[in-house]
Amino acid sequence: MSTPSNSATPPGDGPVRIPRTSSPVLVGRTTGRVRILGTLSAALASFLGFLVLAIVLGAYVPAIPKAGVIGPVLGGQYPFHIALLSLLAAALAAVAWRSGLVRWGRTVTFVTTVCTAGALVIAGVQFQAARDAGVDITLGEAFTELSYPATEPDTTETYASPEGRPLRVDAYLPKKVAGKKTPAVVLAHAGGFHTFDKSDLRGTGRWLADHGVAVFAPAYRLAGPDRPTWDKAPQDLVAALSWVRKNAGTYGVDASQVSLGGMSAGGTLAMNAAYRLQNGTIEGPDGTAPEPPASVIGFYPGTDVTRMWKDDVAGTREAAEMFTGGTPQEYPNRYREVSPVSDIRQGLPRTLLVVGDRDRSARPETITEFSDALRKQGVDTEVRELPFAEHAFDDAYGSLTSQTSRKILLDFLTQAPH
């Protein structure tokens, strides 16, 4: 009888399978893909990391060349978006880190995390400034309303036709309430005296109208090469003010509560026209002069056109020369006449000045000097300086500073004088 073999398979068990190691080819392919993914992540994280670092550093230290220009604009208007971009860069750096680029990944992850914190601090400071101003911040707008909203005026009319050229005004009107008249403001658009148009005010106009203030945004004659408007644009605002007063009944406006204001160069024109009306040194294109406005508003305005020329920041010299027709040396009287600082006297309309603390064109110190001079003459003057805000901080309609500035403007137009 034969003896069973030791190699016999026990009953019920199948053949023994010896595990096989992974194919060297597959391992090589996987490793190659990881390296490619890590390299691409590293490259994109490097780009984004450098970008957010420049923006955040520039927002905190405007003196840094180039970064100090883009930082206050992007970091100041879009801090939440910059924080999200920083987080994306940190996530990509983490992918590169796990793929083997350890030292590099750690460095970029650290830098972008710090940038995220820096951007959120900007948002926090601006949020606190908004709360101090009594603003109910809408965070959805801060993320989604990145530019002027798509809205239209309630009506557009011709308010004057100097030199045979019709000048039109956009009206944004509150809902009429029987027996109640609303305050109004004539707002002049920005643009260095020579560009942009009244439609730039559509967001502010609609918002104020929705909150009970009628807004009239006039076109005015723009300067150009060999076409100075120093003696025309201020007169156009006088004509717009006069037209609104004459048509106050039609639009349910309180004729005694019509203010004059503007943004940047529009603010310069508004203050110039308002103060000169009070001082009796300006008339409209038709030779008549209405009563001075109830108040005057300057958002990041140029207070001295000669200083605009001397500083030469972001095109201010070119704008001044185009507006006046030459240099201060050539036309000192023109520069003096169109500069609000030349008309500071007692009895001027109460004034609101709003500026960003990072503004390079309408520097905060020039606004402070101007307001101090007004107060010395007994003029009721309010100055609001917004944190981490550059020139034209309200271009991003939903930004924290834009929401804050609209509330400041609304309160000024609707509250009784001090």
Q: Over the stretch 306-345, which tens digit does the pLDDT of each residue have?
A: 999 999 998 999 999 999 999 999 999 999 999 999 999 9
Residue 40 pLDDT class (50, 70, 90 cuts):
confident
Structure tokens of 227? Answer: 């076409």
pLDDT by residue (tens digit) across 77-104?
Answer: 999 999 999 999 999 988 888 877 888 8
Lowest mean pLDDT, pick from 37-46, 169-178, 394-403 = 37-46
Residue 14 pLDDT class (50, 70, 90 cuts):
very low
% of the chain at pLDDT higher than 70: 91
In this predicted structure, the answer to whether residue 41 has a pLDDT above a threshold of 90 is no
- What is the reported pLDDT for 16? 47
Lowest mean pLDDT, pick from 35-39, 106-110, 121-125, 270-274 = 35-39
> Under a CB-based contact definition with an 8 Å cutoff, are residues 144 and 111 in contact?
no
- What is the reported pLDDT for 30? 52
Residue (of 396, 411, 50, 81) closest to 259 by Cα position: 411
pLDDT by residue (tens digit) across 130-145?
Answer: 999 999 999 999 999 9
Structure tokens of 115? Answer: 């940038």
Residue keyed to tokens 């402070």: 368
In this predicted structure, the answer to whether residue 254 has a pLDDT above a threshold of 50 is yes
Looking at this protein, which amino acid is placed at residue 162?
P
pLDDT by residue (tens digit) across 392-405?
Answer: 999 999 999 999 99
- What is the reported pLDDT for 401? 96
Q: Which residues pair with 169 in a beta bridge?
A: 157, 218
164 against 38, higher pLDDT: 164
- What is the reported pLDDT for 31? 56
31 against 172, higher pLDDT: 172
CA distances from 231 to 119, 234, 271, 284, 338 (A): 45, 7, 15, 10, 8
Looking at this protein, which amino acid is placed at residue 407?
K
Q: Mean per-residue pLDDT for 236-245?
A: 98
In this predicted structure, the answer to whether residue 351 has a pLDDT above a threshold of 60 is yes
Long-range CB pairs of 382-385 (<8 Å, 24+ gap) are 382/350, 382/351, 382/352, 382/353, 382/412, 383/353, 383/354, 383/355, 384/133, 384/352, 384/353, 384/354, 384/355, 384/408, 385/354, 385/355, 385/356, 385/357
State the Cα–Cα distance between residues 215 and 187, nearest whole angstrom. Answer: 7
Residue (of 241, 259, 326) closest to 296 by Cα position: 259
- Give every CB contact of residue 402 below 8 A, 6+ residues apart in sequence: 77, 393, 394, 395, 396
Helix axes 265-279, 233-246, angle to 10 degrees: 70
Pairing, β 295-299 against β 350-356: parallel
Q: What pTM was estimated for this model as a whole?
A: 0.89
pLDDT by residue (tens digit) across 261-313?
Answer: 999 999 999 999 999 999 999 998 888 899 999 999 999 999 999 999 999 99
Structure tokens of 334? Answer: 């023109």
State the Cα–Cα distance between residues 131 and 189, nearest whole angstrom. Answer: 27
- What is the reported pLDDT for 4? 45
